[in-house]
Chains A and B, each alone.
Chain A
Amino acid sequence: MKKRKWLSYGLILILGLLSFTKVYNSGYQVGDEATDFKLKNVDGKMVSLSDFKSAKGFIVVFTCNHCPYAKKYEDRIVALDKMYKDKGYPVIAINPNDPTVQPQDGFAEMQTRAKEKGFTFPYLVDEGQKIYPVYGATKTPHVYILKKENGKNIVKYIGTIDNNYENPNDVSDHYVQDAVNQLLKNEPVKTEKTVAIGCTIKVKK
């Protein structure tokens, strides 16, 4: 009887700890299956990951128009798409910000920005802000690299593009490039998670 009591105490403790970790790790971790979505692109068409039949995976970038950190990376995001689209890892950009909070991130402004910067990839609106919390994105830019495994999109990398937002010529760690190169060689990703300063996602009030 006594044993059982302790067992239930232990169970309560473990459950408590589990719920605690859950609160602090909302969104995807490396190894999780990422959900597909159907979001409106700047060209007005709806885009889903399942539309890309021949893709081996995706470089999903939560980014936006207004954020200075995101702006610093625009050219590098275009370069990543050009480098990896044909190899099976296209870029899919998603703007998670609410335009009533950040007017520069409205749909018309996204269309203008995509044209100005010559985006070669879909630039999607997270309408109703439903997708970014599922992924667990907290800022812009925030990258999720996914790899198709048995028809599922498995998260392989979460973080930043490289280690110098300020100067692309002074980067010593190309996190996203390295991760995609490793995935293309069927190797495990060496650095699976990184952090960097970015703009908070602007949530509808």
Chain B
Amino acid sequence: MKTLVKFLLLIFPFLINAQIQTDVSLIKYEDLEKRIQQEKDKFVVVNFWATTCAPCVKELPHFIEVNKKYSQNPNFKMLLVSLDMARDKQKVINFIKTKNLTAEVVILDDNKRMNTWIPKFQKDWEGEIPVTFFYKNGEKVFFNNGEMSLEELESAINKNYNP
């Protein structure tokens, strides 16, 4: 028991550090869909962004603030889906570090099949970013097209979450 406590104390700082990702996985649309469904017992916020998209970068601090607020809540999950190119992976990793992104980031590396996955997420989404999806029990409950203020993001969560 003592050794276990010691061990936990030893790795504790690493657990804290683990909040900041040091690597990002490149995934296909099907993986992303599975990833969202894996969290179906949670309220999930999925934001599509890119390091090259100014309004996306502008709204990200609001997402981080909200994620920090809910990070202790086991029923809340935030997923930041980067649409940067696979070859810009290091740029995304650096961005996570400098901007202190504590929510999980994945790169959706599925450029050639946009016509398959964009309408699957939302019929009237024509591909402009940023956009944000809100899921409850694995079902999409809200879609926001465009940049969100902190107030808009919090109100979308409050309206649709009801923990």
Q: List B residues at the A interface (Cβ < 8 Å).
A: 50, 52-55, 83, 85, 111-115, 118-119, 124-130, 146-147
Contacts and interface: CB of A to CB of B under 8 A. Distances in A.
A198 B52 contact: no
Given A160-B114, A163-B112, 17 more contacts: A25-B124, A68-B52, A68-B53, A139-B127, A166-B85, A166-B111, A173-B115, A195-B118, A195-B119, A195-B126, A196-B118, A197-B50, A197-B127, A198-B126, A199-B128, A200-B129, A200-B130
* 4 A-B pairs with the lowest CB-CB distances in the bound complex, closest first: A139-B128, A68-B52, A200-B128, A195-B118
Contacts of B111: 163-166, 197
Given A163-B112, A195-B118, A195-B119, A139 B126 contact: yes
Contacts of B125: 195
B146 A197 contact: no
Interface residues of A, number: 24
Q: Which of A24, A173, A196 has the most CB of B within 10 A?
A: A196
A29 interface: no
A195 B119 CA distance: 8
B112 A170 contact: yes
Contacts of A120: none
B55 A197 contact: no
A111 interface: no
A195 B146 contact: no
A138 interface: yes
A197 B83 contact: yes
Contacts of A129: none
Contacts of A195: 114-115, 118-119, 125-127
B115 A196 contact: yes
B128 A164 contact: no
Nearest to A140: B128
